[in-house]
Amino acid sequence: MPRVVVCGLGPGSPELVTTATLAAIERIPHRFLRTRRHPSAAVTGKAEDFDHLYEAASTIDEVYEGIVAALAAAAEDHGQVLYAVPGSPLVAESTVERLRAHPRLEVQVVPALSFLDLAWDRLGLDPLDAGLRLVDAHRFATEAAGERGPLLVAQCDSRPVLSDIKLALADSVVVRPAGAAAATPGPPVTVTVLQRLGLPDEQVVEVPWSELDRSFDPDHLTSLFIPHLAAPLSGEVAAFAEIARRLRRDCPWDRIQTHASLRRHLIEEAYEVLEAIDHLDPDTGEGFDALEEELGDLLFQVVFHATLAAEEGWFDLADVARHVSQKLVGRHPHVFGDVEVANADEVVANWEQLKKAEKGRSSMMDGIPVGLPALLFAQKVQKRAASGGVDWRDLADLPDRADRAGGANPADGTDLARRLLDLVDEAAAAGHDPESELRAAAEAIRDRFRKHEANGIDGADEAREVPGA
């Protein structure tokens, strides 16, 4: 079979290249470099590199696929080729994994010194004793999911990659005080950046977590040591977000969607969640499986919109989560601050005032979606007025109950509107949601009508059994 001999160029200067690698280079005339951007690349002599793939491809997977395809073709032409990679061929080398999985290639690996050996020395720790996990920065969100640390993150070669790490961890980084038995949650901490180990310009520096993606210039010889995490990353959510990205990339239908085209799907999924809630039975647990499923469908809409926005460079799922977290903290000063409230009504009043100030609105009525169903719209208007200390009746230029008693026409539109507003107010005062109550009554009529259709039961008798009919 065609053969690819893979050797490692070590973590830094040419002095760290092994004699076995040098012998392989001497023996095999057809040579390839994964990248010429390595201090020891010159020891390979005349060799073809794949740097052009890094510059042309849109994803790192495309780069790796191109390298494997080129090496396979060259091995078939020459019988045997040499492939030199930075560091060790057995550490964080996706191309080597892919070569080994190739059905028509024989792969021989020449072991080499890894950057890990220098990292353990610079960090002053035994990786086995510390339980350290090595993670690829380009696959950080999924590889680090569920980990508590410590983590050594390799291939931190750009600011966007560091930003992705920072967003994935959010507030999971913690302080470990000297001598403490366990990590203590605290503010973002200092982490260790390791750059160009084994070279004259080697750097091992402490960097504030908040400045991770802007305090230094990363390169292909940069790694990051994270000592501990406050809690495991949500593996399920990270995997879910990755599925959304994969669908966007590989599914023809998902690929053509826009925020506008997804609008109706978001509305439909929201209504399906409401329907599932209406059929819950807390005593028996019936209906919760359906609610779980519908909430997942609704969550996918959120994740997919965030995926689209991330592609456009506006925001991503982490930004969405962080923004709503900050908003909830800011609007609950009675929980996260020193504000005292006597009851839920005061909470609602504070919420509306805070939202008005936060969004720079001139009126508490701003921000009520005009597309809401009429009952829900009326309910929100009444609540906003009450939060502002105003009785909505004082603002209603409509006939009141006394006018109706004096002979107002019940069919008059304004009179009907006033009565509907009164009913909305009465429902809220009794702790009921008028939208849900009306829907439940209508559904009861619908179900009894279906029974009437199926069994020939007197529809009038069935209708009289509807609560409130």
- For the segment 78-124, what is each residue's pLDDT rounded down to a tens digit? 999 999 998 899 887 889 999 999 999 999 999 998 888 899 999 99
Q: pLDDT by residue (tens digit) across 280-339?
A: 998 898 999 999 999 999 999 999 999 999 898 898 888 888 888 888 888 788 888 778
80 assigned to some structural domain: yes
The C-alpha atoms of residue 448 and residue 469 are separated, in whole angstroms, by 13
Q: pLDDT by residue (tens digit) across 342-362?
A: 888 777 777 767 766 666 666
- DSSP H stretches of helix in 331-365: 333-336, 344-358
Q: Of 233, 254, 270, at which residue does a domain stop?
A: 233
Q: What is the mean pLDDT of residues 174-180?
A: 45
| Residues 290 and 217 both lie in one domain | no
Which position has the higher pLDDT, 381 or 64? 64
Structure tokens at 29: 């005339």
| Residues 280 and 378 both lie in one domain | no
Which position has the higher pLDDT, 439 or 305? 305
Q: Residue 219: which residues within 8 A CB-CB, separation 6 or more?
A: 157, 195, 196
- pLDDT classification of 157: cutoffs 50, 70, 90: confident
156 assigned to some structural domain: yes
468 assigned to some structural domain: no
The DSSP code for 41 is G
74 assigned to some structural domain: yes
Contact present, 132 and 151 (Cβ < 8 Å): yes
Tell me what pLDDT residue 427 has.
83
Look at 26-40, 187-201, 251-265 and tell me which has the smallest mean pLDDT: 187-201
CA dihedral 172, 178, 181, 182 (to 10 degrees): 0
Prior bond of 2 cis (ω within 30°): no
Q: Of 63, 90, 113, at which residue does a domain stop?
A: 113
Continuous segment of H or E residues that includes residue 74? helix 60-78
100 assigned to some structural domain: yes
348 assigned to some structural domain: no
Which position has the higher pLDDT, 25 or 386? 25
SS3 content of the chain, % helix, strand, coil (to 5): 50, 10, 35
| Residues 244 and 151 both lie in one domain | no
Please, which residues bridge with residue 151 across strands? Answer: 133, 226
Q: pLDDT by residue (tens digit) across 42-82?
A: 999 999 999 999 888 878 888 999 999 999 999 999 999 99
Tell me what pLDDT residue 165 has.
86
Determine how many CB atoms are found less than 10 A away from the CB of residue 306: 20
Name the domain count of the chain: 4
| Residues 177 and 147 both lie in one domain | yes
Tell me what pLDDT residue 179 has.
42
Tell me what pLDDT residue 466 has.
44
| Residues 217 and 272 both lie in one domain | no
The C-alpha atoms of residue 144 and residue 125 are separated, in whole angstroms, by 20
Q: Residue 28: which residues within 8 A CB-CB, separation 6 or more?
A: 5, 80, 81, 82
Tell me what pLDDT residue 412 has.
53
Among residues of the chain, what percentage have pLDDT more than 70?
84
Tell me what pLDDT residue 467 has.
45
CATH code, 301: 1.10.287.1080
CATH code, 75: 3.40.1010.10
The C-alpha atoms of residue 381 and residue 428 are separated, in whole angstroms, by 12
| Residues 8 and 108 both lie in one domain | yes
Q: Would the pLDDT of 387 be above 60?
A: yes
| Residues 107 and 133 both lie in one domain | no
| Residues 291 and 190 both lie in one domain | no
| Residues 104 and 16 both lie in one domain | yes
Continuous segment of H or E residues that includes residue 96? helix 94-100
Q: Which domain holds residue 282?
A: 236-330
300 assigned to some structural domain: yes
- pLDDT classification of 177: cutoffs 50, 70, 90: very low
246 assigned to some structural domain: yes
Q: What is the mean pLDDT of residues 372-396?
A: 75
Q: Would the pLDDT of 469 be above 60?
A: no
- The model's pTM: 0.46
Q: Where are the beta strands (DSSP E) in 39-179?
A: 48-49, 80-85, 106-110, 133-136, 151-154
Average pLDDT over all residues of the chain = 81
Tell me what pLDDT residue 178 has.
41
Q: pLDDT by residue (tens digit) across 208-250?
A: 887 888 888 898 889 999 887 765 556 677 778 889 999 999 9
CATH code, 189: 3.30.950.10
Tell me what pLDDT residue 235 has.
62
